[in-house]
Amino acid sequence: MPEPLLRASGVCLERGGRKLLHNVDLQLRQGEIVTLIGPNGAGKTTLVRVVLGLVRPGSGEVWRRAGLRIGYMPQRMHIDPSLPLTVRRFLSLASTDINAMRAALRRTGVEDLLENPMHSLSGGETQRVLLARALLRRPQLLVLDEPVQGVDVGGQADFYQTISKLRDQLQCGVLMISHDLHLVMAATDTVVCLNQHVCCQGHPQSVASHPAYLELFGKSAQPGIALYTHHHDHSHDLHGDVMPDGGGEHHRA
């Protein structure tokens, strides 16, 4: 089994007397896709910032492989239409190698957009250019913050398939964030449900024939996304504190 790319143990963080993260463990290995899911305000982006070393935890330990190369894709980017910025100029902020730019755009399926203005791109095209920019770092770890933001449902399935192919081609690790508690990649190796603490984690279940899946993607959609269902072994009281129920899947609270 490959050595982890990063590992977090017992991470806690408070701000203004509010718990943002409580006793969170996370591990990601080369070639593995880990998806963080949970409601808005669950601490997903905060946890990623902690494990990447951008935010110092209040307590706990974070370890990253020495010299780890990280490609980061933000969930959105606003570009002023009056700014004359082409895709080529945008990518040149990460690399001036035109061959590397073309290769990255080809991997994400938008090689023909090299000379297009950034502000003219659709939501899906913008996300693919952002992903190409992350690839220019030759990452050992791809970090994707809600990568299908602004992408229609049909495009989401295709985009997730692209991410899975990139993992296979590059043998990089992928840490992905989603605000949706139900839609996650079928190719995800580990799903971590976060709500300040790790509620539960495990492998997503394949539900290509599930009525809710068919309602969202239709019978003709290729399997790229699945519904992840799990059973918590605890509930929360009105203050958000954990109330053990007994049984269920592994969790940390």
List the structure tokens of 130.
């952002």
**CA distances from residue 209 to 49, 104, 172 in whole angstroms, order as listed:** 36, 34, 30
Asked whether the predicted pLDDT for residue 229 surpasses 90, the reply is: no
Strands 183-185 and 225-227 turn out to be antiparallel
Q: What per-residue confidence (pLDDT) applies to 213?
A: 34
Q: What per-residue confidence (pLDDT) applies to 48?
A: 93
* pTM, two decimal places: 0.79
**What's the rounded Cα separation, in Å, for the pair 23 and 198?**
8
Which CATH number does 1-69+140-158+171-253 carry?
A: 3.40.50.300
- Token look-up 């990460």 returns 94
pLDDT digit string, tens, across residues 49-79: 999 999 999 999 999 999 999 999 987 777 7
Q: What per-residue confidence (pLDDT) applies to 41?
A: 85
Which CATH number does 77-138 carry?
A: 1.20.1580.10
Nearest-5° Cα angle at 161, 171 to 232: 90
Helix (H) or strand (E) holding 242: strand 242-244
Residue extents of the structural domains in the chain: 1-69+140-158+171-253, 77-138
- Token look-up 């899906």 returns 124
Confidence of residue 243 (pLDDT cuts 50, 70, 90): very low
Over pLDDT 90: what percentage of the chain?
47
